[in-house]
Amino acid sequence: MTSNLSPIDTAKFVAAKRAVEFVEDGMRVGLGTGSTAAWMVRCLGERVREEGLKVSGVPTSTRTAELARQVGIKVISLDDARWLDITIDGADEFDGDLNLIKGGGGALLQEKIVATASDLMIVITDPSKKVDTLGRFPLPVEVIPFGWQTTKALVEETLASLDVLGQQASLRMNGEAPFVTDEGNHIIDLHLQRIGNARQMSMVLNQIPGVVENGLFIDICDKVVIGHQDGRVEVEDINDGSHEEGTIEFADAENLFLDI
C-alpha cells in the first residue's frame, strides 16, 4: 500500500483500474468527467502506453479532453464516433437499481448524451455513494441563462407537487459569478434529501421551459465498479444480476497519479 494515497483516492484508483479492464482494442470509449473519472483516464492512458491499446476517446468535458490528450489517448468527437462501445464515468449517488445522480462536476449534459450513445455504461465509485433512495446529493438541473430566475421559480413550483422531502433550489456559483457549463448554461442545484419517484422527477423537470437536462440517469448504467480503500473491488451488473469481488494491486499508483 502506498502511504501517500488517501483512503478515498485508493478506492477511486482501484475502481478505475478494474473498470478499464473492460476496454478492448479498437473500442470507442466515452470518457467521464470528475475526480473519479480522472483516475480512469489515467489508467486507460497507462494501458495505451504500456500495452499498445488502440482506442478512441470521446470526452464529456474540455478538462477531460485535455487530460486524455496528455496521457496519450486519441480524442475524437461524438459526431465522429457516432456510437460508442463503452462509457466509463463516476457518479455522485447510485441506488440498488443502478439509477444515478450525476452532475456534481457540472458536465451532466454531455455526460448523459455520451452515456446514452453507448452500448455499455460503467460507473466507478466508492461505497459511500450507494444510497437506498436517491436525493441525498443535490440534484443538478442545467438551465439556459436567459430567464434563469423564472426557470428556477418554475422548478420550485413543480417540486411542491412531487414526492420529495426538501424543496430548496440554488443557483450554482463559481466564486462571485454563476457557474457556466461547457455548453454556456447555468446549473440549479435541488436540495431534495429524498426523491420518491426518480423517473417521474426526471420527466417532469425536462418539461419545464428553460431546463436543458437534469442529473438523474435512469436505466442508463449497466455496471457499477465499487472500489475499497484496502484494494478490494466489487462489480455489480444490473443486466444479469451478477456480483463479483476481487483485489487490485495499487503499489504503483503513487507516482503515476501524483498530480490528480
Q: Is 65 annotated as a binding residue?
A: no
Between 207 and 259, residue with greater pLDDT: 207
Contact 158, 141 (CB under 8 A): no
Among 200, 175, 188, 205, smallest CA distance to 147 is for 188
Q: Is 9 annotated as a binding residue?
A: no
**What predicted TM-score, i.e. pTM, was given to this entire model?**
0.94
Q: Is 175 annotated as a binding residue?
A: no
Q: Is 92 annotated as a binding residue?
A: yes
List pLDDT tens digits, range 23-64: 999 999 999 999 999 999 999 999 999 999 999 999 999 999
Q: Mean pLDDT over residues 134-158, rounded? A: 98
Task: Please pick, among 46, 93, 111, 142, the residue that the annotation labels catalytic.
Answer: 111
Mean pLDDT, the chain, as a whole number? Answer: 95
Q: Does the active-site annotation cover 111?
A: yes
pLDDT score for 2: 45
Q: Mean pLDDT over residues 12-17, rounded? A: 97
CA distance 51 to 207: 47
Starting at the edge strand that comes first in sequence, how are the strands of the sheet with 211-214 ordered? 168-171, 186-191, 139-143, 211-214
pLDDT score for 260: 43
User: Which domains does the chain carry?
Assistant: 7-129+219-256 (3.40.50.1360), 139-213 (3.30.70.260)
Contact 219, 170 (CB under 8 A): no
